[in-house]
Chain A
C-alpha cells in the first residue's frame, strides 16, 4: 500500500524529538481521525536551521512529518511556508488517496510553527 520511500521514513524517521529552545512550535490535530503532530523549529537569520517533530498517527502521518522536517531545513521561512501537502506527498513518491489528508498534518504543523516564530519575532522587535 505504501511506497518504499514512505516505509523508509516510517521505519527510520528523521528528526524525531523536541527542541528545548525552539524559536517556533506548532501543534495541530487532524480533524479526520484525531491524530496529533507537534513541530519544533530553530531559525537563524530567517533561515530554518533545525526542525524536529513528534507525531501520534498512522504510517503516512509519521512519514510525512519526517520528510517535512528534512525538506524545510536550510530553507528561508517564507519559502518553507510555500511547501504544500501535495509536494510533501510527491517527495514520498506518492500516498494512497485515502491517506492524503494525513499529509495536511505536517504542512499545518509547519505553518503553525512559523506563525509562532513570527509572532515571537514581532514581540521582540516591538520591545
Chain B
C-alpha cells in the first residue's frame, strides 16, 4: 500500500543529513561542552556552530542571541514567563491572541494565576489578527505582546511586523512563536522587529526535544531553570549536544533548501486545494494568500473529522483534525471556534500539512482516495449538506 504522510505540522521526518550529525555527536563526539579536555572542546565547537546556523536562519545579528531549549514549548515558556518575571515591576499586562498554540495560551493562563492580566485579541474568519486591535489593547502597564507568526492549524500568517511596530514605539517586548513558520518561509527578526522568537527542531526536519529561543541583545529574561551557568545563565542544564548539533544542521539545510522547498510546497498545495474544492460541501479554512505553503485545512459539511482520519489511515494516508472527537478534551479546536466556525463545521475539519518529501503523485493519490471516503461518511450521516 502507498503510504502518504501529510501531517508535517505535527512532526517531520529527520533529514538524512541531520541524522548523520546526531549520530556522530552521540557515538564519537559525545563530550560535555563544560569539560576542558578535547572531548569538551569538540562539543563546544558543535554548540558554537549550531548557534551560528540558527542565528543565520532567523537573521539574528549575533550568535549569542540564540538560546537552546528542549523545544518549542520550553521556548514559549521561557520567553513569556521569563519576560513577565523580569518586567513585573513595570507592569503586569500581556497581550496575546485567541489562536495561539497551547504552549503560549496555557503559559499566559498560568501567569494570570500569578496576578498578571491577559488580553486575548480575536481573529477574523480567516484567522488573522488585526494589528489595530492589538494597538488598541495596549495599556500603560503592558509589558509583553505574544502573537504567533503562522498558525499550526490553519496556516494563517499574522501581521507581526505591523504589530511589533506599534509595540516598539512604546517599549513593549514582542514575542512570536515561529515554530511552524521557520521551516517553510523566510523569517527575519529584523524585518519582523521582534525581541523574542521561538522555533522547534522536530517541525523543521530536526530531532524532537530540542528548540531555540532568539533573545534580542539587551533583552532581560529571568531564567526558568536554576542550575549551572549554561547558555550564559539563561537556561541551566547540560546542553543536549546531539540534539543541538542536529538542530544546527536542520537550520543549515533549511537555509539551503528554502527557496526550492517553498516552490515545491506551493505547487503541491495549489493542486491539493484546487482538487478538494471540487468536492461538494468542502470549504477551505484559513486565508487564501496569507498562508503557509504547506498547510491545507478544510471542513467537510455533515461529517466528522475523526471518522475521515480513520478512513484515510486505513488507506495509508496520515492527516489530522480539529474535531472535538479527536481532542482529549472533547472540545473542538479553539482556533476554528475563534474564527467563528460552527461546532458542526469544526467537527468536519481535516488538516493536511505537506513536506519536502511529498510528491505530486502523493497529492493525486489523496485526491483519488478522499472523495469516496467523504461520500461514504455522508451516506451514513443524518445531516444534509446545505
* Overall SS of chain B's interface: helix
Within 8 A of B (CB), among A8-34: 10-11, 13, 16, 27, 32-34
Asked whether B382 lies within 8 Å of A38 as measured between CB atoms, the reply is: yes
Contact check, B325 vs A62: say whether CB atoms are below 8 A apart.
Answer: no
Report if A16-B380 is in contact (Cβ < 8 Å); known contacts: A56-B302, A59-B306.
yes
Question: Which of the residues B310, B331, B332, B347 comes within 8 Å of A10, measured between beta carbons?
Answer: B310
Cβ–Cβ contact A58 & B381, under 8 A: no
Within 8 A of A (CB), among B89-124: none
Residues in chain A near residue B314, CB distance under 8 A: 7, 11
Query: Does A57 touch B at the CB level, under 8 Å?
Result: yes
Q: Known contacts A13-B380, A34-B343, A34-B347: does B330 contact A56 (CB below 8 Å)?
A: no
B382 near A58: Cβ-Cβ < 8 Å: no
Does the CB pair B380–A35 fall under 8 Å? no
Contact A10 B324 (CB under 8 A): no
Q: Which of A2, A10, A16, A58 contacts B325 (CB 8 A)?
A: A58
Contact, CB under 8 Å: A33 / B330: yes
Majority-rule SS of A interface residues: mixed
A57 partner residues in chain B, CB cutoff 8 A: 304, 307, 325
**B326, B347, B382: which has the most chain A beta carbons within 10 Å?**
B382
Identify B381's interface contact among A34, A54, A59, CB under 8 A: A54
B218, CB-defined interface residue at 8 Å = no
Which listed residue, A33, A58, A98, A101, touches B307 by the CB 8 Å rule?
A58
Which of B304, B328, B383 has a CB less than 8 Å from the CB of A58? B304
B38 at the interface (CB under 8 A from A): no
Are the CB atoms of A62 and B307 closer together than 8 Å? yes
Chain B residues 289-328 with CB under 8 Å of chain A are 302-304, 306-307, 310-311, 314, 323-326, 328
B379 within 8 A of A: yes
**Residues of B close to A68: CB separation below 8 A:** none
Q: Are A55 and B330 in contact (CB under 8 A)?
A: no
Total CB contacts across the A-B interface at under 8 A: 66
Contacts A11-B314, A32-B330, A34-B324 given; indicate if A59 touches B307 (C-beta within 8 A). yes
CB of A41 within 8 Å of the partner chain: no
Residues of A near B304 (CB, < 8 A) are 35, 56-58, 61
The answer on a CB contact under 8 Å between A58 and B306 is: yes
B310 touching A59, Cβ below 8 Å: yes
A55 touches B328 (CB 8 A): no
Give bound CA distance, A35 to B306, whole Å. 12
A55 to B343 CA separation, bound complex (whole angstroms): 16
Given A33-B330, A62-B307: A54 in contact with B382 (beta carbons within 8 A):
yes
For residue B344, CB closer than 8 A to chain A, the reply is: yes
Residues of B close to A54: CB separation below 8 A: 380-382
Quote the shortest CB–CB distance from B273 to chain A (angstroms). Answer: 25
Q: Is the CB of A56 within 8 A of B328?
A: no
- Tell whether, in the assembled complex, residue A55 and residue B325 are in contact, meaning their CB atoms are under 8 Å apart: no
Residue numbers in A under 8 Å from B331 (CB-CB): 33
Tell me if A95 is interfacial: C-beta within 8 Å of chain B.
Answer: no
Greatest chain B CB density within 10 A among A27, A32, A33, A38 is at: A33
How near does chain B come to A106, taking the closest CB pair, in angstroms? 13
B residues near A (Cβ < 8 Å) are 302-304, 306-307, 310-311, 314, 323-326, 328, 330-332, 343-344, 347, 379-383
| A-B residue pairs in contact (CB < 8 Å), sample of 30 | A10-B307, A11-B311, A27-B382, A32-B324, A33-B323, A33-B324, A33-B330, A33-B331, A34-B344, A35-B304, A36-B382, A36-B383, A53-B380, A54-B380, A54-B381, A54-B382, A55-B380, A55-B382, A56-B303, A56-B382, A58-B307, A58-B325, A59-B307, A59-B310, A61-B304, A61-B325, A62-B307, A62-B380, A98-B328, A102-B325
The 7 closest A-B pairs by CB, nearest first: A58-B325, A33-B324, A58-B306, A54-B382, A38-B382, A59-B310, A56-B381
